[in-house]
Amino acid sequence: MLNINSITNGIVIDHISPGNGIKIYYMLELDKADYTVALIMNAQSKKHGCKDMIKIENVLDLDLTALGVMDSNITINLIKDERISEKINLELPHHVEGVLECNNPRCVSTSERNIVHRFSLVDKEKRLYKCDYCDHLYNVED
Ligand SMILES: [Zn+2]
């Protein structure tokens, strides 16, 4: 099995559903990062079979709020001096930009290329978002 050394300082994004790791990698623009990033796909998880993981070295101030929309099972640990200094609980953000995409063909964000898709949370329990442009509702669980 592939062994990836634990990091001394940084962020570990864990319990990502298999296949979502690469999406999160691009969503956080880690492909453009000038720091060390490890994307681990299909790692063995004791609890849930397979999972993806992302380890980011020497960065602690990344904006991770959009991850709550992608995958509610994700856990995030901030690592300092090889110890977990903080566990971040993901909550659904009130507003997201460029994460969800509206698929209403009559929506202005679908027809105009240079409009950023924007959504607002309308129901936290039901994980329901609405498109800011056309008010179409989306459940982010699926
Ligand atoms: Zn829309």
pTM of the complete model? 0.79
Q: Residue 68 corresponds to which tokens in the numbers above?
A: 């709550």
Q: Report whether 62 contacts 8 (CB < 8 A).
A: no
61: helix, coil or strand? coil
Burial 121-141 (b: 16+ CB within 10 A, else e): beeeeebbbbbbbeebebebe
Ligand 1 center–CA 20 separation, angstroms: 24
Residue 44 backbone dihedrals phi, psi, to 5 degrees: -75, 130
Ligand 1 center–CA 39 separation, angstroms: 32
Amino acid at 29: E
Ligand 1 center–CA 92 separation, angstroms: 19
Tens-of-pLDDT digits for all 142 residues of the chain? 444 567 899 999 999 999 999 999 998 999 999 999 999 999 987 776 899 999 999 998 888 888 888 887 899 999 999 999 999 888 889 999 988 899 999 999 988 888 999 999 999 889 899 999 999 999 987 5
Which residues are close to ligand 1, an ion, with C-beta < 5 A?
Answer: 102, 104, 107, 131, 133-134, 136
Ligand 1 center–CA 133 separation, angstroms: 5
